[in-house]
Structure 1
Amino acid sequence: MMGRFYNPVLVKELKLRFRSFKSFSGLMFYLAVICVFVVGFLLLTTGFTGKGFFRPEMSFMMFTILTILQMALVLFITPSLTAGAISSEREKQTLNILLTTTQSSTQIIVGKLLSSVAFLVLMLIAGLPLYSLVFLFGGVSPLQLASIVFFYLVTVVAIGSVGVMFSTITKKTIVAMIATYGSIIFLGGITAFFFFLTTAFHQMGNAAGAGSSFMTYFWAAINPGALMLTLVSSDMGDALAMLSGVELPVWLTYLIVYIAITVLCLTIAIKKLRANMKSNR
Structure 2
Amino acid sequence: MSKTLSEIRVEIDSIDNQVHDLLMQRADLVSSVAMAKKKEGLQIVHPAREAKLMRRLLSRHKAPLPRATVVRIWRELIGSVSLLQAGLSVVVSSDNRGGCIYWDVAKNYFGSAIPMTKISGVTNTIAEVRDGDAYFAVLPWPAAESQSPWWDSFLNQNDDEKKLSVICALPYGQSTFDSEMAVDSRAVIVSKIDFMPSDDDISFIGVKLGVEASLDRIKIAAKDAGLSVLNLFRADDSYLLEVTGYYNQDSKMIETLQKILGDECLYCKAVGGYPVIPHIT
- TM-score bracket for the superposition, by shorter chain length: 0.3 to 0.5
Structure with more relative contact order (C-alpha pairs < 8 Å, separation 6 or more): 1
The structure where strand makes up a greater share of residues is 2
* TM-score, normalised relative to structure 1: 0.33
* TM-score, normalised relative to structure 2: 0.33
